[in-house]
């Protein structure tokens, strides 16, 4: 049964605070649901307050066509991929959310901390955060597969970016060039607070730029042919997928199809992540 209620009502009804040894523990209804005008529903993780958007099941063409300017060979072959529906973070994980579970903030950049994306985290660090969050018992969380990430990023589009074929610094945090490496506007010089720019058609923010986002898969060539819910992990490969580009990236790296890989223990001040919650 679907129930759409105002956030303020939920805050009044579902939020309770319990004191434990000089600390406050926030307890929320584990089914805390709110209405999302884009996909129909959102869910708020009760311990961190992290917001998740429901992404409906569907199929798309993963990778880039040979005609796409700036295309790299490892973005192909273009193939049909189908994924089941899933919950994904509306925003990149913030420094405040990170500190609800971890002892230290590793980030190089911090303005207010509350809305800044956590960065300088490795794939291994992200997995440690996930293990601690899963131990809270309010859901099963993980990194997105590479296929889920691109499906969520594209949000039904086939253009180089989810908002078309051109890019400027009013759309994302990245090196201040146009889509084809001509300087157009001032460079932000670092990541911006999550949600600074317009969301994509699924209501997701910062899928292009800000910080690179770790995915579950190891960095491999795409296998040919269609697939359903693909996940590619080879234990002898220490490199994990990064997607989306970051604040220090040229426009080409922000394309929906662009992919790269780094060793899973790599910590850089332009790498972060967002989470998926298993249905």
pLDDT value for 279: 78
Range of the domain at 253: 57-277
Average pLDDT over residues 197-209: 97
For residue 32, pLDDT over 50 is answered with: no
Name the band, by pLDDT with cuts 50, 70 and 90, for residue 4. Answer: very low
In a domain, 26, yes or no: no
**Is 41 a domain residue?**
no
Cα separation values, 224 from 25, 74, 77, 99, 235, Å: 49, 12, 6, 41, 21
**2 domain-assigned:** no
Whether residue 30 is predicted with pLDDT greater than 60 in this model: the reply is: no
Whether residue 44 is contained in a domain is answered as no
| Within-domain flag for 50 | no
pLDDT value of residue 118? 98
Return the CATH number at 163. 3.90.1580.10
Separation CA 216–CA 248 (nearest Å): 23
213, part of any domain: yes
Total Cβ atoms within 10 A of residue 144: 27
* Residue 45 included in any domain: no
In a domain, 51, yes or no: no
Considering the chain, what is the average pLDDT of its residues?
A: 86
| Cβ within 8 Å of residue 58, ≥6 positions away | 82, 83, 151
Per the structure, the count of domains in the chain is: 1
């Amino acid at each position: 049964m679907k129930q759409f209620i105002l956030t303020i009502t939920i805050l009044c009804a579902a939020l309770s605070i319990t004191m434990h040894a000089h600390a406050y523990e926030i307890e929320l209804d584990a089914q805390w649901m709110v209405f999302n005008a884009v996909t129909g529903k959102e869910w708020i993780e009760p311990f961190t307050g992290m917001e998740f958007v429901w992404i409906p099941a569907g199929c798309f063409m993963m990778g880039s066509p040979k005609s796409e300017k700036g295309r790299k060979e490892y973005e192909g072959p273009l193939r049909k991929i189908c994924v089941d529906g899933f919950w994904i973070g509306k925003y990149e994980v913030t420094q405040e959310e990170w500190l609800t579970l971890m002892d230290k903030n590793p980030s190089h950049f911090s303005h207010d901390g509350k809305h800044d994306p956590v960065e300088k985290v490795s794939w291994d660090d992200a997995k440690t955060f996930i293990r601690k969050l899963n131990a809270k018992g309010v859901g099963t969380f993980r990194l997105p597969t590479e296929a889920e990430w691109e499906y969520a990023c594209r949000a039904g589009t086939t253009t180089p970016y989810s908002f078309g074929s051109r890019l400027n610094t009013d759309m994302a945090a990245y090196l201040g060039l146009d889509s084809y490496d001509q300087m157009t506007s001032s460079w932000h010089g670092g990541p911006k607070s999550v949600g600074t720019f317009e969301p994509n058609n699924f209501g997701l923010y910062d899928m292009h730029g800000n910080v690179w986002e770790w995915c579950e898969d190891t960095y491999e060539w795409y296998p040919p042919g269609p697939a359903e819910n693909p996940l590619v992990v080879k234990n002898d490969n220490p490199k994990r997928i990064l997607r989306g580009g970051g604040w220090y990236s040229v426009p080409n790296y922000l394309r929906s199809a662009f992919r790269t890989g780094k060793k899973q223990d790599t910590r850089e001040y332009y790498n972060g992540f967002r989470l998926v919650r298993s249905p």
